[in-house]
Structure 1
Amino acid sequence: MNETLSLFGLSTTPLELLSSLLSVITVWLNIRQNHWGWLFAILSSALFGALFYQSKLYGDMGLQVVFIVVSFWGWYQWLSGDDTHDRLPVTELSWAGRGVAALGWIAGFIALAWFLMMFTDTDVPFTDGLLTAGSLVGQLLLSRKKIENWHVWIIVDVLYVALYVHKGLILTAVLYGMFVVMAGFGLAAWRRSMDGLHEADTAMVLK
């Protein structure tokens, strides 16, 4: 899985290629609110964990383990639905919820950056810590179908492009550039879904 391949002039490996393919399928299914996306998320996270270990991106490697755990939880959330056990709807955070998410990102960044500096040989502890914490926040918001998850992913994915170029993971950098575009589509699609639900609720009230 570590043999060097050339794809469209880019140097890659079968491990990076398969991880990227599974991730694209994951995001596409997430946009469509299809619960099978969580299965592909688990598979892609396992493969990316191995890839990031090889590149000494230990924060991202550890994040993949957390992603696998959160993916099982998210899969359950999407299948079990809301309090009435209907399909889990797309909703948005309150201002207080957004504040908690932002504080969680900051706290996670500080803790992870310190850990990476003290206990690993990574050369990008601050960047790795910042993006690892942000990705965890995004994944948790995705699990509860909060529309703000797409805002988080857009920010994180743009920064990941630069990090992966720095690490020589060019195909992964291209992949995350695609993720920025897909996150934009996801935000628009989920916004339409949420607006449609609000219109349906309004119609029910008016009847």
Structure 2
Amino acid sequence: MDWINYTLFTFAGDRPVLLIDLVTSVLGLTCVFLAGRNNKYNFWVGYLYTVALFLMFWNKNLYASLLLQPISLGINILGHYRWTHPKKEEESSQDASSLKVSMLSWTERAFAIAMVFLIAGVWGWILDSLFPGDPHPYLDSCVTVLILVAQFLSAQKKWDCWIAWLLVNITQLILHISVGHVFMPIVCTLYLINGISALVGWMKLYRKKA
């Protein structure tokens, strides 16, 4: 596992850029690019991305994000199944074997927001108590909960998932910069661009019931 700590070069004098950062960046960009274009193959890349994230967060002592990965893997498997095995009333107008894009109700959105704040607060407190080595327990936990919500909505092919992903990208951008990552802030910026594009693209699919 020595390759995880392999340094490609140093940034700003003393900040190392690791190989795992580059691998994670490439996999992440590929995954969200495919998802934003309603491509079911994003899930296959997502499996590899989950493993890479686990290794990267382990290396950076970001424990809340690390513990997310097994759950993330489970949601990825659920989403893979849901996207390719829709119920009759959920079938896309363009492809009966694909799940169509749908939206949350305002009540469901309010509930999701409340749960993010509640769970993130509790998780941050627990993380700070059990893992004092985490440099940003509450920010780390907020990112964790937002990712879970975004992934679950993505698995259900809800248009609202891209709102959640945009919030994740902004929060992660702050988190990665604070711990000295180099590639991931660049990736998060590209995520934002992709997220905005996907937000528009999925709205068109929603209107077409596709």
Q: TM-score when scaled to structure 1?
A: 0.90
Secondary structure class of the residue paired with 1:12 = strand
Identity of aligned residues (%): 23
Distance 2:48 2:22 in 1: 13
2:114 is aligned with 1:109: no
Greater length-normalized contact order (CA 8 Å, ≥ 6 residues apart): 2
TM-superposed CA distance for 1:55, in Å, is: 0.5
Q: Name the residue aligned to 2:191.
A: 179
Q: Name the residue aligned to 2:100.
A: 89
Q: Name the residue aligned to 2:155.
A: 143
Q: Is the 8 A contact 2:11 2:17 kept in 1?
A: no
Q: Is the 8 A contact 1:23 1:41 kept in 2?
A: yes
TM-superposed CA distance for 1:18, in Å, is: 1.0
The alpha-carbon distance between structure 1 residues 84 and 107, as it changes in their structure 2 partners (threshold 3 A), is same
TM-superposed CA distance for 1:188, in Å, is: 0.8
- The partner residue of 1:58 within 39, 58, 63 is 63
- The partner residue of 1:129 within 129, 133, 141 is 141
TM-superposed CA distance for 1:82, in Å, is: 3.1
Equivalent residues, number: 198
Q: Name the residue aligned to 1:202.
A: none
Secondary structure class of the residue paired with 1:92 = coil
The alpha-carbon distance between structure 1 residues 7 and 185, as it changes in their structure 2 partners (threshold 3 A), is farther
TM-superposed CA distance for 1:93, in Å, is: 0.5
TM-superposed CA distance for 1:47, in Å, is: 0.8
Distance 1:30 1:107 in 2: 28
- The partner residue of 2:20 within 1, 5, 15 is 15
TM-superposed CA distance for 1:11, in Å, is: 4.5
2:198 is aligned with 1:195: no
Q: Name the residue aligned to 1:43.
A: 48
The alpha-carbon distance between structure 1 residues 8 and 190, as it changes in their structure 2 partners (threshold 3 A), is farther
Q: Please, what is the CA RMSD of the aligned residues?
A: 1.9
- The partner residue of 2:38 within 18, 33, 38 is 33
